[in-house]
Structure 1
């Protein structure tokens, strides 16, 4: 199967290498920019540059973790009804050798990133280590698997703070954790309800009802802690709370009624009311936090 990649032309393999990095998932790395927005530093060109450098480095790191995961799961993915066709390694579009070379290039870029943003790369190193542990061990442990995914988002926010050398509110950390737990729980719920427990070993330890309770608890926590963060640190942002509440409601509607949510990125990009809500929230935050007289 590894040699079947030679059956595809150079253009197809180039597309496969890009697909292997899952660029559509880079939208998750926008969490790196949260400290830039809430610290009010987005009018400072140096701060914006540092924040986007951190986000690019996180995109590289997240792509590397996806490649490691796909290489580890290649045999399982080949037996999966969907992944056997959509994953470049499992489908034979990309060889393991090509994936390994791409992985080494991405790691080399991260090492080069040390000379640009050493504090950020230290956080990224923790993220890479966490995801290696997830790929080989932690994703098979119930509850731990969901928290591991969520901690990855917290590390993104922390990397953004390190890039700007600014403190991050404890409220922001706990809000990010709860929101990420909500998204991770919904992902597991949809995997279980759509594909059954055979699609992922850890799903045999869950039930839809149990994961629903996890998701509801996490969504409630995200809303509560975001509201407390706004009222304690940025009271002018209280007008964004209804948008957050609507977004949580809409996302659950997409999950329950439209059968989405297995991929939060796909759910966001496919549902225009949800996407519009996020755009409005970003725009409103920028407008409210823009310095007076600027």
Structure 2
């Protein structure tokens, strides 16, 4: 009986005790918890100024760099508090257990304290260094994301709306900081483009969970059906493409100084980018959008072509 008990104990997975952070381990763990790979999302703060051709002054560049930093700090605050709240569930997850808070590299009280400090300082700095509306938007973003961490991520459809709105607010805040009027087509394209990527991510996660037949820490994945999420990302992709085409055609014909209708030609690159990303969404491999965007060379090339065409349109060349 003793030998049998010992054999069972050997087969049972051993629970690892949380790591004790060293002097250099804590700052590194805090940086990892801030998700540096996710910072690429905050580049959206330049979307509105780029669309309006307002990127070429020193004042605009300084202001946008400041807004980027403040939004990154606000997002880091949300990540820290979220990981502190979800520490028990993350420790039971096969991959999230390696996160600094779940592994013990960053103690839970420290995560709460640093997250709370960043959450307070970011809006205050925005109020002092940017426009009042920028501070209001940043505060609204923090409030919405913290509500998401606490309860909204458990509400069907609302969770998709909140994450999508977070992307849209990134795009809006750059225009607000520089006092740039925002086109209705810009807002629709950005909003539904974000919904396309968010729902494609959820779809990929749902497919992965179904294939593995395992539980997921994101409980809503068991309530969404793969068919519904596929419908959402397909609908969002269609609306985003339509809105972009209407936006590109809104300016009418070719400007007097332009050689070709660059804005209208950019529609081809935009549609190709959506179609290329949809390949990964359909395969269920768009669970990490930043990996798709940064690692797929054809998609990167299409993106560069789109940037070139739109840049020529803004410059009226």
The normalised TM-score by structure 1 is 0.91
Q: Residue 26 of structure 2: which of 8, 13, 21 is its match?
A: 13
Cα 1:115/1:234, change in 2 over 3 Å: farther
Distance, in Å, in 1 between the alignment partners of 2:57 and 2:25 is 41
Aligned-CA RMSD value = 2.1
Partner of 2:63: 50
Partner of 2:269: 243
Computing the radius of gyration over CA atoms, which structure comes out larger, 1 or 2? 2
> Per-residue CA shift, 1:159-211, capped at 9, x if unaligned?
11111111100111111111111111111111111124731211222111111
Q: For this pair of structures, how many residues does the alignment match?
A: 289
Does 2:93 correspond to 1:80? yes
> Per-residue CA shift, 1:20-73, capped at 9, x if unaligned?
000110111111111111111112221222222212211111111111211111
Matches within 5 A, 1:82-97: 82-85=95-98, 87-97=99-109
Partner of 1:226: 244
Distance, in Å, in 2 between the alignment partners of 1:251 and 1:107 is 33
Q: Is the 8 A contact 1:4 1:95 kept in 2?
A: no
Moved more, 16-25 or 226-235: 226-235
Does 2:181 correspond to 1:170? no
Partner of 2:289: 264
Cα 1:279/1:106, change in 2 over 3 Å: farther
Q: Is the 8 A contact 2:201 2:286 kept in 1?
A: yes
> Per-residue CA shift, 1:59-98, capped at 9, x if unaligned?
111111111211111111111111112x111122211122
Partner of 2:111: 99
> Per-residue CA shift, 1:262-281, capped at 9, x if unaligned?
12112212212222222332
**SS state at 1:115 partner:** helix
Distance, in Å, in 2 between the alignment partners of 1:152 and 1:12 is 30
Give the deviation of 1:5 after TM superposition: 4.1
The normalised TM-score by structure 2 is 0.85
Partner of 1:149: 163
Distance, in Å, in 2 between the alignment partners of 1:101 and 1:288 is 47
Distance, in Å, in 1 between the alignment partners of 2:140 and 2:120 is 16
Q: Is the 8 A contact 1:33 1:52 kept in 2?
A: no
Does 2:146 correspond to 1:132? yes
| Long gaps (5+) in structure 1 | none
**SS state at 1:114 partner:** helix
